[in-house]
Amino acid sequence: MNKTVILRNVAKKYKMYSRTSDKLLDIVMPKGYGEDFYALRNISFEAEKGDVIGIIGVNGSGKSTLSNIISGIIPPTSGSIEINGDVALIAINSGLDNQLTGRENIELKCLMLGFNKRQIKKLEPEIIEFSEIGKFIDQPVKNYSSGMKSRLGFAISVNINPDILIIDEALSVGDKIFADKCEAKMNEFKEKGKTIFFISHSLRQIKNFCEKALWIEYGEVKSFGEVSEVVPKYEKFLKDYKAMSEIERKEYREKVMEKRSSEYKISNAKT
Ligand SMILES: Nc1ncnc2c1ncn2[C@@H]1O[C@H](COP(=O)(O)OP(=O)(O)OP(=O)(O)O)[C@@H](O)[C@H]1O
């Protein structure tokens, strides 16, 4: 079985309320209050073992929502998801308990993943070594810089050896030396046949790390394929968007907002 992640017509719908009181009314009388908003809709794609897929798209297009759905943190509103293997998500502000020390966070995360005490004892020094946190490992995570949190999150996730790894903007706060180390680790993972999703606004990083790219435009798959095909299309979109006047941009955003609030027809086209 080479397919590790299969999504079919996945959608995530939220309710948007213009007033807090509307939200309360919607809970008591669930009809008519709030407006539907599709963070994602009609998402279909497949990933295989050894795929390194860059997820790109402008702010708010749905990249983090997608990574949360693949990692099982949030359920989709509709559609089907098949995941073959263990998933680890590394995101800037997720997964670590700020009140606990780095070491306690390692232990907690490993326990939650079903490792026993003996396995944790073996893993702990490897994680600490990789993270390069040094003495700070026994300090509460709230005293860490964002780069340190990202290092620890990355070190835990890669050393627990998941089959599917999702990195959501976590490298953007790391320095070049750590990014290079992460790249080496990602290449090692790729050779081992693991699947990696890499979310970043840095197209340079996407081109360096990934072979495939998934472009999400305002909640929908705009393009999925080789990085060399998808990234230039996205770059052209960014260039055209930048060239628009303020009024054109506003109109464009309103059109998108309207589209994301409306019902849609499921397309069965495989992307
Ligand atoms: N819990 C929620 N309730 C309502 N709307 C939400 C919720 N979570 C996300 N959204 C909306 O869904 C859309 C997609 O958000 P998401 O964080 O997935 O985008 P993103 O592509 O990761 O953005 P960025 O590049 O800025 O990190 C946004 O418009 C966001 O406001």
What is the reported pLDDT for 233?
A: 97
What is the reported pLDDT for 183?
A: 81
Q: Strand 52-56 and strand 212-217: pairing?
A: parallel
Residue nearest to atom 27 of ligand 1 (CA): 59
Residue nearest to atom 8 of ligand 1 (CA): 65
Mind listing the domains of the chain with CATH numbers? 3-86+164-173+193-260 (3.40.50.300)
d(CA 88, CA 159): 10
**Dihedral angle computed from the Cα positions of residues 204, 230, 78 and 255, in that order, rounded to the nearest 10 degrees:** 90
Residue 62 beta carbon below 6 angstroms from any ligand 1 atom: yes
Distance 243 CA to ligand 1 centre (A): 25
Amino acid letter, 50: G
Amino acid letter, 198: F
What is the reported pLDDT for 18?
A: 67
pTM exceeds 0.90, yes or no: no
d(CA 211, CA 192): 16
d(CA 226, CA 84): 23
d(CA 193, CA 210): 14
For each of the chain's 271 residues, which pLDDT tens digit applies? 689 999 999 999 998 766 666 666 666 666 666 778 999 999 999 999 999 999 999 999 999 999 999 999 899 999 999 999 989 888 766 678 999 999 999 999 888 878 899 999 999 999 999 999 999 999 999 999 888 888 898 888 888 888 999 988 766 767 778 888 888 888 888 889 899 999 999 999 899 889 999 999 989 999 999 999 999 999 999 999 999 999 999 999 899 888 888 887 776 654 4
d(CA 111, CA 35): 41
Residue 60 beta carbon below 6 angstroms from any ligand 1 atom: yes
What is the reported pLDDT for 113?
A: 79
d(CA 263, CA 182): 41
139 phi and psi angles, rounded to 5 deg: -100, 150
ipTM over 0.95: yes
d(CA 61, CA 56): 9
What letter would DSSP give residue 137? G
Residue 264 Cα distances to 35, 239, 246, angstroms: 15, 28, 28
Residue 102 beta carbon below 6 angstroms from any ligand 1 atom: no
Residue 52 Cα distances to 39, 164, 181, 225, 227, angstroms: 24, 10, 16, 11, 10
Residue 195 beta carbon below 6 angstroms from any ligand 1 atom: no
Residue 12 beta carbon below 6 angstroms from any ligand 1 atom: no
What letter would DSSP give residue 178? H
Q: Do 4 and 185 contact (CB within 8 A), yes or no?
A: no
Atom of ligand 1 nearest to the CA of 260: 29
> In the sheet that 78-83 helps form, which strands lie side by side, from edge to edge?
35-48, 3-16, 78-83
Residue 39 beta carbon below 6 angstroms from any ligand 1 atom: yes
Residue 34 beta carbon below 6 angstroms from any ligand 1 atom: no
Q: Is 44 helix (H, G, I), strand (E, B) or coil?
A: strand
